[in-house]
Amino acid sequence: MSLTKEALQHIEQSHKTGTEVAGGNALILGEQFNLADLEQYQDHRRRFRGKYQTQDLTAFLRYVEIWAESGVPVFIDQDRMAARSFLDIGGQDAPGHCEHSATLTLPKTPDFLAFHGADGSIYDQEGMVELIEDWGHLMEFTNSKGEALEKSKVIHAFRKVSIDDLTSIDSEKQEHSSQIGVMNKVTVKQAERLPTVITWTLQPYEGLAERRFDMRVATITKGGPSFRLRAMALEATEKEIAKEFAGDITRTLPECECLLGIFTP
């Protein structure tokens, strides 16, 4: 039953302390009929609510295990390496308020951040040496012949690398023309001592398995020796990591409905 404004004004005038509504959980006060929540004066909350946020996969899984009822959905965002569960979501017949949630945002490890920082970067000789000195414990080195190289020798090779500029005369005679030109050929001296592929072995995200990431090394000879690093098949590997992430959640929470995507209540 709805009340008219006149009826509410009459109630207000006859109840100096306000009119109880919502089963005694609130009061209507004043001429503007403001609603005052009485929950803060009660011994307990009307319902449990709160937002649990973590960057730890194990902690997220444990929290959901404790609080989730059977069938509660967990929404997995593979692009952001994140997951969320509204533990009081309810159902179609009795929907909940979605005020109790658990959210996981999995951060990249420092090792993986270093790998991404190197991907696409150009380093001079000293920069390459510093990169290997900082992160060489994760790296393996292979030259153009597929031979493994020792880290100490790779560092020495980058420090000592030099460029030779070789000039030759190229002569070509054709039936209707002749061509004579000078060709400059720039070569890297002792290139076999430099790696063409650097393989990083690292844990990309906390709680997930170690993986191997290959990085191509290209030499830039213009303006002095420098080196461009480029990750190989990184997008495919990151998709595999995202599948592993989703699989770990699904296996650990068999009572929950694990769904790929984002849900906004």
Q: How far is CA 45 from CA 29, 42, 48, 136, 252, in A?
A: 22, 7, 7, 55, 31
Residue 23 lies in a domain: yes
Cβ within 8 Å of residue 40, ≥6 positions away: none
Same domain, 97 and 20: no
CB neighbourhood size of 230 (10 A): 14
Burial class for 115, CB neighbours closer than 10 Å (0-12, 13-18, 19+): buried
Among the residue ranges 51-60, 90-99, 165-174, 221-230, the one predicted with the least confidence is 165-174
Is residue 210 located within the same domain as residue 226?
A: yes
Q: Which domain holds residue 28?
A: 5-41
DSSP 195: -
pLDDT at residue 221 in the model: 80
E runs forming strands in the chain: 19-21, 26-29, 34-37, 50-54, 73-77, 82-86, 100-105, 122-124, 139-142, 148-149, 163-173, 178-188, 197-202, 211-220, 226-231, 257-260
Question: Is residue 173 in some structural domain?
Answer: no
Asked whether the CA dihedral 226, 235, 242, 105 is positive or negative, the reply is positive
Same domain, 34 and 57: no
Name, in order, each residue with C-beta under 8 angstroms of 83's C-beta and a sequence gap of 6 or more: 60, 74, 75, 76, 77, 103, 104, 249
Same domain, 68 and 116: no
Residues 74 and 135 in one domain: no
Same domain, residue pair 36 and 124: no
Q: How many domains is the chain partitioned into structurally?
A: 3
Judge whether 12 lies within some domain: yes
CA–CA gap between residue 18 and residue 184 (Å, rounded): 94
141 is written with which tokens?
A: 């080195």
What is the phi/psi pair of residue 2, to 5°? -95, 150
* Same-domain pairing of 124 and 222: yes
Q: What is the pLDDT of residues 202-228, one digit of tens each?
A: 999 999 999 999 999 998 887 778 999
Q: What is the pLDDT of residue 35?
A: 56
The pTM score is: 0.76
Q: Average pLDDT of the chain?
A: 83
What is the pLDDT at residue 251? Answer: 97
Q: Which residue has the tokens 């030099």?
A: 162
**Structural domain contains residue 140:** yes
Residue 160 pLDDT level (bands cut at 50, 70, 90): confident
Q: Which two tokens stand for residue 143?
A: 């030259």
Do residue 96 and residue 117 come from a single domain?
no
In-domain check, residue 175: no
